[in-house]
C-alpha cells in the first residue's frame, strides 16, 4: 500500500476493496458468503471492528478499525490473501459458467505482478480513507448504505441483504457491527 493510503493505529477507515478489472464476481451468493465468513473470522480472531459494510457485484466497502495493539493494514492484507485464494478455488470447483474467461483474467493479472503466484483477484491497495470528522463518517455511512439503491438493486437500503443498512434501521444483518451513533 502506498504512502497516500497509509493506515495509522487508532482511527476509523473507509475501505474499498475492488476485484481486478472490476469483474462482477459477487453476483453469486457462494462468493459473497466467502467474503462474509472471512469478515466474521477477522472480527472474532483478529480484532477487526466493523462499523458498516456493503458487498456489491465487484467490490466491497466498509468502515472499520482495529483495537490497540492490532494493525488494520495487517488484517486487510490477510483478508485479501485468504479471500483471493478461497474465491479463485471456488470458481474452479463451482459449476461456474464464467470460469473460462474469469480465471485467465486473474491469471494474467498475476503474471504482471511480482507478489502474485497463480491468480491475482484483488486490485492493489485498500483505498483506505481515514475518517477525520463526524460529517465525513456520516457521508461514508450514507454512501455505503445507498450503494445498492443507486445500483437499482433495491428501493430501500435496509432491503439489501449484503449490507449493514438493516442494522442501522433497527434490525439484525448478516454481520455484527458496532453502530455509529
Q: CATH code at 68?
A: 3.30.70.1290
Q: How far, in Å, CA of 105 to CA of 154, rounded? A: 30
> What is the per-residue pLDDT across 96-132, written as a single tens digit (0 to 9) for each?
999 999 998 998 888 876 665 688 899 988 788 999 9
**175 within a domain of the structure (yes/no):** no
Domain count along the chain: 1
> What is the per-residue pLDDT across 126-168, written as a single tens digit (0 to 9) for each?
788 999 999 999 999 999 999 999 999 999 999 999 999 999 9
pLDDT category of residue 5 using cuts at 50, 70 and 90: low
123 contacts 15 by C-beta, under 8 angstroms: no
**122 within a domain of the structure (yes/no):** yes
Q: How far, in Å, CA of 179 to CA of 181, rounded? A: 6
For 74, the domain range is 3-132
> What is the per-residue pLDDT across 57-75, written as a single tens digit (0 to 9) for each?
999 999 999 998 899 999 9
pTM: 0.91
| Cβ atoms within 10 Å, residue 72 | 25
**179 within a domain of the structure (yes/no):** no
Amino acid at each position: 500500500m502506498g504512502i497516500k493510503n497509509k493506515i495509522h493505529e487508532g482511527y476509523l477507515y473507509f475501505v474499498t476493496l475492488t476485484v481486478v478489472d472490476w469483474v462482477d464476481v459477487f453476483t453469486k451468493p457462494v462468493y459473497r458468503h466467502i467474503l462474509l465468513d472471512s469478515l466474521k473470522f477477522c472480527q472474532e480472531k483478529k480484532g477487526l471492528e466493523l462499523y458498516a459494510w456493503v458487498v456489491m457485484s465487484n467490490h466491497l466497502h466498509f468502515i472499520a478499525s482495529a483495537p490497540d495493539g492490532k494493525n488494520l493494514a495487517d488484517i486487510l492484507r490477510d483478508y485479501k490473501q485468504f479471500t483471493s485464494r478461497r474465491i479463485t478455488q471456488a470458481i474452479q470447483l463451482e459449476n461456474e459458467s464464467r470460469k473460462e474467461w474469469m480465471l485467465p483474467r486473474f491469471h494474467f493479472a498475476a503474471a504482471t505482478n511480482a507478489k502474485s503466484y497463480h491468480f491475482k483477484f484483488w486490485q492493489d491497495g485498500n483505498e483506505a480513507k481515514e475518517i477525520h470528522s463526524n460529517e465525513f463518517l456520516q457521508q461514508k455511512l450514507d454512501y455505503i448504505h445507498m450503494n445498492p439503491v443507486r445500483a437499482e438493486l433495491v428501493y430501500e437500503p435496509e432491503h439489501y441483504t449484503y449490507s449493514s443498512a438493516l442494522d442501522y434501521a433497527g434490525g439484525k444483518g448478516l454481520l455484527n457491527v458496532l453502530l455509529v451513533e
